[in-house]
Structure 1
Amino acid sequence: MNNKYLLPYGDTLREFLNDGGISKSDLRTLVRNRGIFVAQEEKSVYIPILTKTGITPRELDELRENLNIREVNPKRHTQSIKCESSCPTLISAIPQNYRVNELVKKEFGNYKLLGSPTFKTVENDHDCVELDFKIERYDFTQSWNKNTTQFEGKVKLRKKNDTLDINISLSHTSEETKEVANKIAKDIVSKFKESGYINQSEVTKRIRFRDFTNENRIKFLRKLSQEHSSNELNFKDTKDIGFCPDPTKNYPEQISWMQKKVKNLVIQGEQLHSTFFIQQKELHEFIQIYKIEAVYSFTFLNYEGTCSISFEFPDFISKGNLEAELLIKVNSVKFKENKVNITQKKMKEILLSELEEPKLSLYNEYSN
């Protein structure tokens, strides 16, 4: 039977409520709607109450919807490569009947590609094409509601002047969608090289941590998060900065307290772009910044509101990987007005698209 139609109880319900994607706020709302208030607002308090009393089908749907919104959070990283002037429009350069099913098939893999996705033009622009795909992942070590999960991804190609920009839009933190998107991007570049549209010696560029000096990485992230503001997206505040001292440097006395004592420092608050770590440029060569999260307001014709966007090199701090790629994700969206009932997912995609031009331009300006 499909687990979608099962109402969990007992230990199964407790396991579901303990899921990291279900927040304390979600459980507090359920309990308060029943007229129950507790002195200590923690998941460890709410879960026993709900496990003993059970949840209704409607409450289960609400929790699932909230969980789904958090999981399907689009993230984006970018690759670029130069193409030849003889390259035709992108839609005509892609081989006819191009299919990705065999490309991504993986023996003993834990996922499969759904359907037969193909490239299509974006807004009838023959030099801007995209391929949307969906995978189904199997994980029988997970709880009853997560044995089978679907994730979406996208590969978007845009040709501008002599540069072919390969934009990869990822949903959730699924390594599988990232793997599929990279396979498709790599295969398309290979086929373009075979056709002579891209020189064989050209190498795909990625926005990597090691592509910047410590000073220029701060300039890049600061300007990307603050100074790209358009009529639609406007910077409001910096709420989160992550950095660590560069272990290869001898620190000046001003920050000597960090020597051999601090490996990672995350600052959260308000007006963080005015802290001395950012304002005092003489300290920049000693700091390896890997994350900035900022708050913005957005105003479009039919919708407006606020959002939080993070710019980070996640594999640098988690794995110490200097090849870590820049990842941009929209953490939250709050609508002030939404005349056309646009979904949060679609709104996040629009916001990410607003950052494509400044991201590539600033990378060319500040990379080594």
Structure 2
Amino acid sequence: MSTVKPDELDSLKATYREKEDKPKEIERTATVNLGSKTLWETFNELFPDLKSITKSGLPKNCALVGAPMLERVDKNYNHLVVKYKIEKENTNKDFLTGKTFHDAQMEIRYENNQLTFIDQHTSSETYKLNKNYFDNFQKALKKNNLSVEEFKSIQFLDFANNERIQFLLSFLKIQDSKAIVIKKITLDSMKFRTDETLSKLPKDLESLKGRVSNLNLHGKELHDTIYLSEDEYRIAILCEKVRFNVIYKYINRDGICSIEVSFNGALGIKGYKDTELRISITPAPNSFDNNFTSTKALITKEINKIRDDNYTQYKQKQNINDTI
């Protein structure tokens, strides 16, 4: 039986910690009618108390650090953000021991009767807290007759296999951005499994049946990866995640970052389930960008535009029978 050396263990822990701390974002939108009131007024009068975050199922080994903060973004009464942090006491059974801290926030914007709820989390615990708060937030809208339509987000099953991959790959179009210079963009990894509901699979996919594969692409170009570039393969696989490495120049800053676009948790050993699109943009450890917060805001804006433009193009068309 082989043992892990201390330096190897430290490296594994660092990788695990980075994975946990990587901010992930889910965006949901709905049409609402707040009447003559601002979001700030409506939030304080009708929506769940921020203290309810502490009552939303935190595990026993987690605690809220301080009180959740509600702020107006740029003093805008229709653009709010809720921020909080949790402390997690990792037990001896966990890969990481000792305490870890995880930030989270919920950004809410209201404009032209459109309410946008952006969930930003850095761990499974903060994801669950945000989701619980969002569910209560949505109930409050309905209870007070403010909801015109249900919240919508981009889902795994919104796409057929081929179109799902094309949608995930459409984020490569950031290299055409006029707002930032993309020097190079390459594929880092993908996560997929074969679609075993199909009667015929490409021969080299047969050996992958019954398991989820995390494929390291090591900076390959799209045309070097048949799973992503050829229709025969795109039709035959369920792709959950694609990750890109980006080398860029913004203003006078050179930097490197990764963009991960995923339907986290969609794939399992026995099949798949419908999960929401999550997008994560993180700086590389060797990046020279000393103001990544500013750069990330710009990249996020460009990525969201690509997302919205290409969702309409690649989502499955609703069958007339689906409306009956």
- Match of 1:77, SS state, is strand
Give the whole-Å Cα distance in 2 for the aligned partners of 1:260 and 1:139: 38
Give the whole-Å Cα distance in 2 for the aligned partners of 1:143 and 1:303: 39
Q: 1:92 Cα deviation (Å)?
A: 2.6
- CA-to-partner distance for each residue in 1:194-225, whole Å, 9 max, x for gaps? 333213xx333232211211122012111124
Give the whole-Å Cα distance in 2 for the aligned partners of 1:115 and 1:134: 8
- CA-to-partner distance for each residue in 1:218-238, whole Å, 9 max, x for gaps? 121111243575312636222
Counterpart position of 1:220: 167
Q: Is the 8 A contact 2:73 2:81 kept in 1?
A: yes
Give the whole-Å Cα distance in 1 for the aligned partners of 2:71 and 2:125: 22
Counterpart position of 1:205: 152
Q: 1:134 Cα deviation (Å)?
A: 0.6
Q: Mark the CA change 1:314 to 1:163 in structure 2 (over 3 Å): closer, same or farther.
A: same
Q: 1:20 Cα deviation (Å)?
A: 2.4
Q: Is the 8 A contact 2:106 2:120 kept in 1?
A: yes
- Match of 1:205, SS state, is coil
Q: 1:84 Cα deviation (Å)?
A: 2.9
Q: Mark the CA change 1:330 to 1:297 in structure 2 (over 3 Å): closer, same or farther.
A: same
Counterpart position of 1:315: 265
Q: Is the 8 A contact 1:98 1:118 kept in 2?
A: no
Give the whole-Å Cα distance in 2 for the aligned partners of 1:156 and 1:325: 17
Counterpart position of 1:189: 138
Give the whole-Å Cα distance in 2 for the aligned partners of 1:239 and 1:337: 20
Q: 1:315 Cα deviation (Å)?
A: 1.0
Show the 5 A alignment for 1:36-51.
none
Corresponding letter in the other structure for 1:292? V
Q: Is the 8 A contact 1:156 1:167 kept in 2?
A: yes
Give the whole-Å Cα distance in 2 for the aligned partners of 1:163 and 1:233: 32
Counterpart position of 1:64: none
Between structure 1 and structure 2, the one with the greater Rg is: 1
Give the alignment's Cα RMSD to 1 decimal: 3.5
Query: How many positions carry a matched residue from both structures?
Result: 304
Show the 5 A alignment for 1:88-103.
88-96=37-45, 99-103=49-53
Q: Mark the CA change 1:139 to 1:261 in structure 2 (over 3 Å): closer, same or farther.
A: closer
TM-score, normalising length: structure 2: 0.78
Corresponding letter in the other structure for 1:22? A
Q: 1:164 Cα deviation (Å)?
A: 1.7
Counterpart position of 2:322: none
Corresponding letter in the other structure for 1:218? I
Q: Is the 8 A contact 2:172 2:185 kept in 1?
A: no
Show the 5 A alignment for 1:309-348.
309-318=259-268, 320-333=271-284, 337-338=288-289, 341-342=290-291
Corresponding letter in the other structure for 1:284? R
- CA-to-partner distance for each residue in 1:129-148, whole Å, 9 max, x for gaps? 11111112223335898333
Q: Is the 8 A contact 1:309 1:332 kept in 2?
A: no
Q: Mark the CA change 1:364 to 1:163 in structure 2 (over 3 Å): closer, same or farther.
A: farther
TM-score, normalising length: structure 1: 0.69
Structure 1 stretches of 5 or more lacking a match? 1-12, 24-66
Counterpart position of 1:258: 205
Q: 1:294 Cα deviation (Å)?
A: 1.1
- Match of 1:153, SS state, is strand
Give the whole-Å Cα distance in 2 for the aligned partners of 1:150 and 1:310: 22
Q: Is the 8 A contact 1:99 1:118 kept in 2?
A: no
Give the whole-Å Cα distance in 2 for the aligned partners of 1:87 and 1:293: 43
Give the whole-Å Cα distance in 1 for the aligned partners of 2:175 and 2:134: 27
Show the 5 A alignment for 1:124-135.
124-135=75-86
Give the whole-Å Cα distance in 1 for the aligned partners of 2:302 and 2:172: 12
| Identity, % of aligned positions | 19
Q: Mark the CA change 1:116 to 1:98 in structure 2 (over 3 Å): closer, same or farther.
A: farther
